């Protein structure tokens, strides 16, 4: 009877929820193995699969932009140019100038215009060169320099009489723009005097601001831009915030009132101007008020004594840094035709 009870107790110990020591170690090892396997599978693979391997080392390096970047058939149109058709150079130059977004495109347009100018003068036997004139005016439109632009326009007038000024026996009446020129000079004087209230009203007249901007290089001793902006900055600083342009201020707690010199402007209204800047302002005023009736002394003061450039058509290729004999486009560049052996 006692043996039967011992067997029953042993069977209960080996049932569900009880494991002998060997079985417990086996289950623990199995759990650790499964955990290690799961972590190993979750780690990224160092070597990418074959279809995802980068091919950067096999690709060629990026090359410099070609003329085809402007429009698709540019290379073909350049190669098709012939010296007997300067109009084609002009038309292609217009297309390139219209689509140019960088210095390289603008340089190509200038080269095409220059070659059209040279080839039309070589081809034409008369006195009028319509293609050369158009190319010269196109170069003037592209030029960022006022002096070069005036030189190119003068050259266009010299080779095409239709663009020259009419020779009237009677002098023309003074331009209606003279009032605008007068107001522009008044504005400069008001800014110098520190009278910014009236200066703001004057510059708002139609055409005054644009006229000053066209001649703002005269306001600089070194013929630089930004003269109008400098005047507007000085205009914003005045009148004096302390005396509001009265030069004096009242002393506090004085009766009868007593006055003292303004401690901000020191009684001197307007900006401090160097002699060189003042001379530039006077040059600006003289240029706008005198019109075309200027003396040689005024002209020398106006342009600094720069020599007058002769409108010689033969100087245009050198001025544009273009070889007039290299007018064929071959292998991505301009080249001269091969000379036949003598």
Run means of pLDDT, 10 residues per run, the chain, 342 residues: 53 47 51 50 45 38 47 88 94 91 90 94 74 92 84 87 54 59 92 90 92 87 83 88 83 86 84 88 84 61 69 90 93 84 52
Looking at the fold, whether 156 and 222 belong to one and the same domain comes out as no
Determine, yes or no, domain membership for 143.
Answer: yes
| Other CB atoms within 10 A of residue 109 CB | 23
Looking at the fold, whether 74 and 125 belong to one and the same domain comes out as yes
Q: What pLDDT does 168 receive?
A: 44
Instruction: Domain count for the chain, please give it.
Output: 3
Taking the C-alpha atoms of residue 80 and residue 82, their distance in angstroms, rounded to an integer, is 6
Q: Are 135 and 152 in contact (CB under 8 A)?
A: no
Q: What pLDDT does 251 receive?
A: 87
pTM over 0.85: no
Determine, yes or no, domain membership for 7.
Answer: no
Q: What pLDDT does 127 receive?
A: 59
In a 13 Å sphere around the CA of 70, the CA atoms on its Cβ side amount to 26
Q: What pLDDT does 27 receive?
A: 53
Q: What pLDDT does 80 receive?
A: 94
Measured in degrees and rounded to the nearest 5, phi and psi for residue 333 equal -160, 165
Q: What is the DSSP string of 136-148?
A: HHHHHHH---HHH
Cα dihedral across residues 221, 226, 229, 233: positive or negative:
negative
Determine, yes or no, domain membership for 158.
Answer: yes
- Supply 340's token pair: 């036949």
* 47 CA to centre of own chain: 49
Q: What pLDDT does 100 receive?
A: 85
193: containing domain:
178-238+273-303
DSSP conformational letter for 219: G
Residues in CB range of 226: below 8 A, 6 or more apart = 216, 220
């Amino acid at each position: 009877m006692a043996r039967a009870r011992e067997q029953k107790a042993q069977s209960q110990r080996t049932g569900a929820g009880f494991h002998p020591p060997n079985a417990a170690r086996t289950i623990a090892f199995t759990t650790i193995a499964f955990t290690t396997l799961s972590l190993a599978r979750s780690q990224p693979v160092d070597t990418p699969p074959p279809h995802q391997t980068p091919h950067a080392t096999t690709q060629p390096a990026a090359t410099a932009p070609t003329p085809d970047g402007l429009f698709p058939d540019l290379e073909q149109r350049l190669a098709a140019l012939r010296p007997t058709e300067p109009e084609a150079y002009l038309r292609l130059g217009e297309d390139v100038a219209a689509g140019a977004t960088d210095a390289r495109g603008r340089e190509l347009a200038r080269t095409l215009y220059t070659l059209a100018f040279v080839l039309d003068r070589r081809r034409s036997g008369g006195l009028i060169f319509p293609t050369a004139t158009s190319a010269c005016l196109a170069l003037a439109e592209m030029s960022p320099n006022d002096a070069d632009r005036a030189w190119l326009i003068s050259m266009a007038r010299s080779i095409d009489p239709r663009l020259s000024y009419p020779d009237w026996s009677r002098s023309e009446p003074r331009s209606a723009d003279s009032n605008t020129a007068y107001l522009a000079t008044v504005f400069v004087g008001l800014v110098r005097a520190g009278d910014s209230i009236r200066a703001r009203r004057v510059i708002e007249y139609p055409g005054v601001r644009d006229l000053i901007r066209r001649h703002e290089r005269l306001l600089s001793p070194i013929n630089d831009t930004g003269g109008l902006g400098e005047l507007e900055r000085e205009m914003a600083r005045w009148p004096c915030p302390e005396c509001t342009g009265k030069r004096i201020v009242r002393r506090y707690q004085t009766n009868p009132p007593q006055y003292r010199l303004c401690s901000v402007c020191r009684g001197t209204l307007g900006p401090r101007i160097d002699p060189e800047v003042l001379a530039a302002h006077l040059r600006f005023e003289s240029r706008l008020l005198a019109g075309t009736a200027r003396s040689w002394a005024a002209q020398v003061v106006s342009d600094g004594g720069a020599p007058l450039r002769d409108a010689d058509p033969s100087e245009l290729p050198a001025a544009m840094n273009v070889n007039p004999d290299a007018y064929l486009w071959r292998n991505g560049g301009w080249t001269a035709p091969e000379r036949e052996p003598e």
